[in-house]
Amino acid sequence: MGDLASARFVGIEQLAACLDGSRMTTSGFDRAGSNAPPFEPNDPEAVEALQQGLLDLGRSVGVDGAYGPQTSEAVRQFKIDEGLPLPPGLSAHDGVASKGTVGRLDEIYQHEVIDAIAATMGGTPFDPGVRTGTRQQLAEEVVTCQFANGTVVELGFFAGFVVPPTISDFWDTQGGATGAMGVPSTPPFEYEGLTAQGFASEVAITDGSTAFALPVDVFAAASGSFELGAPQGPASAEPDGVMVVSFQKGAVLSSPETPAVALSQDMLQEWQTRRAAGEALGAPVAPPSIDETGATVVQFVGATLSFPAGGGPPTLIAGPVRSFFLPPTPGLKLGPKQPGCDLRHLIGGPAAFQSMVDDIRATAANPEKAFVFLSNFNCDLDFDIPHPSGTTTLRAELSAVAKLSPGPVQIRALLWAGDWLSHLPAPVQKGLRKLIPGLLAFVERQKANNERAVNDIPTFGTDAQSFLDFRYPVFGSVHQKLLIVFDGSTLIAYAGGIDWTDDRVKATKNGAPLFDVSERLVGRAADQLLTTFRDRWTTDPKAGGDPTSPGELAGGVGGQCERPGHALLLGCEPLPAADIHLSDGPGERAAPR
């Protein structure tokens, strides 16, 4: 059967059969192409796709799934206007859709998704400009197309990424889609003055003239630890098998037996000095951490080094190491330990929901100052939440505090729009819904939950607002799940893998209940999550202004962030992260330092 290239037609069997000579007529579907009845019924989906394709080109045709006289005339005129060759034995074009008609329509629309992907980068530093080439098949469901300033890679007929020129050229030298890097997995982004882009197994880095790749784990280690600055080149292998990737202010070390670990410049120099002296430390086995004395501890395969908090030469440590905290990293807002902060790990849905319900209920003590802010991927207001006081629902809890007088508690909800195909033309979206019905059914259920919640939450009380958030890339960013609660005196924030759905608490399908972890934070880390919610809310045109402040925040740590009826102590300037550490057991609150 013929291969269709356009996403709006892929997967529609009768259209693919037309490429092999089958015919779509007003009398039915002539599969053999022999014009000898009886014919099969025309597939309404195939007819609708054909009609929509003609309509989008300005043809006068209804989209009703019936191949009648109007559709036949539109097909006939299309073939004439496109200059399609006459089939053997015909002296004039008829209204039958076959290989020529479907093939030409498929050719017209074959770049539809590619152009849509390119448009997502329009006006950015990675704008690919105008299309200069045609689609080229690299591998199964991997297609590339050249643009003036880069390449667009289409994946699976509906997704894809713009790849800047230097990275595209480098990717080609590494084998392209079937090489070691795999296919692109992220859009391009700026990184330490360079351009980077994620691929399946590596991250490509370029300064605009040359490019190299880093393993994904190395890039993750560099991005989530010390301020290492820009990478200086690809990994180099030491004689003992340790892989070293140099950065401006340190390095990432790894080996086949150990994870990728970032070391600051002083740690790297100590490692190099001891190696030069014949002391084989090997690769680090875990990220640096802080022990109970405040010293930074780095565990290597061959030894453990302790870097004193007040400076001075590091010392070797014998025996097991007790470490609790990540070292300060100012560039990541990870500062020294702070008082009054707390972290509780909540394992599984029931533990998390019970804690969340308790904190929402606590707002009733001071409703004139309290608020509850939600940001979720999936928000079902009506599933049964287990609680020691009896089964409840999110609807019951929010509506109860939203109606308090005096008060009420302020409610704000920012929920995922679920419109992950919105960047694609409508006919392409329709075709994809047939290709991946299971995934889309899952997404549609979440979208329905969120739409229902957005409609209902404003009815809970006079200070309750909610809306759907459409602002996110095609991939990523939809999983930012937050609950921020201020009970009038204490700011509490939850982050993690918890959504308000029943698959967190009961066996709704294979694999459920899902076993997620959520964190309950008190103190400056909660302040940071509140800032995240505020930034997302206030920058959306549908929002009703700042949820916590009608104007500018007062400056300085401990400033008052005011809104009518609210006064919340929090740091309004950039703050170091919270003083948090692992608790002694699941569900237990860790004591603040």
Helices (H), 39-148: 44-55, 69-81, 99-109, 112-119
C-alpha distance from residue 301 to each of 149, 245, 250, 253, 396 (Å)? 46, 18, 19, 12, 54
Q: Are 384 and 355 in contact (CB under 8 A)?
A: no
Amino acid at 189: F
- Angle, helices 394-402 vs 349-362, to 10°: value is 10
Q: How confident is the model at residue 543 (pLDDT cuts 50, 70, 90)?
A: low
Q: Is the pLDDT of residue 546 over 90?
A: no
Helices (H), 120-214: 165-173
Mean pLDDT along residues 320-326: 54
Q: Is the pLDDT of residue 582 over 50?
A: no
Q: Which has the higher per-residue pLDDT, 257 or 471?
A: 257
Domains of the chain (ranges, CATH numbers)? 13-109 (no CATH), 112-209 (no CATH), 236-332 (no CATH), 342-569 (3.30.870.10)
Output the six-digit token pair for 45: 């989906």
**DSSP annotation string for 293-309:** TS-EEEEBSS-EEEE-T
**DSSP annotation string for 446-499:** HHHHHHHHHHHGGGS-TTEEEEEE--S-SSSSTT--EEEEE-SS-EEEEEES--
**In this predicted structure, what is the pLDDT of residue 240?**
83
Q: How confident is the model at residue 144 (pLDDT cuts 50, 70, 90)?
A: very high
Give the max Cα distance, the chain. 95
Quickly tell me which residue has 């297609």 as its tokens: 143
Peptide bond into 38 cis (omega under 30): yes
**In this predicted structure, what is the pLDDT of residue 438?**
65
Q: Is the pLDDT of residue 456 over 60?
A: yes
pTM of the model: 0.66
Q: Is the pLDDT of residue 556 over 70?
A: no
Q: In this structure, are strands 211-215 and 289-291 parallel, antiparallel, or unpaired?
A: unpaired
Cα separation, 393 vs 343, whole angstroms = 25
**Residue 111: which of 143, 142, 84 has the closest Cα?**
143
Peptide bond into 406 cis (omega under 30): yes
CB atoms within 10 A of CB 445: 14
Greatest mean pLDDT range, 292-301, 305-314, 372-381: 372-381
Q: Is the pLDDT of residue 581 over 60?
A: no
The DSSP code for 327 is P
Q: Are 22 and 50 in contact (CB under 8 A)?
A: no
Cα separation, 309 vs 291, whole angstroms = 10
**In this predicted structure, what is the pLDDT of residue 317?**
81
Q: How confident is the model at residue 91 (pLDDT cuts 50, 70, 90)?
A: very high
Mean pLDDT along residues 255-271: 92
Cα separation, 22 vs 8, whole angstroms = 19
Q: Are 33 and 23 in contact (CB under 8 A)?
A: yes
Cα separation, 323 vs 99, whole angstroms = 70
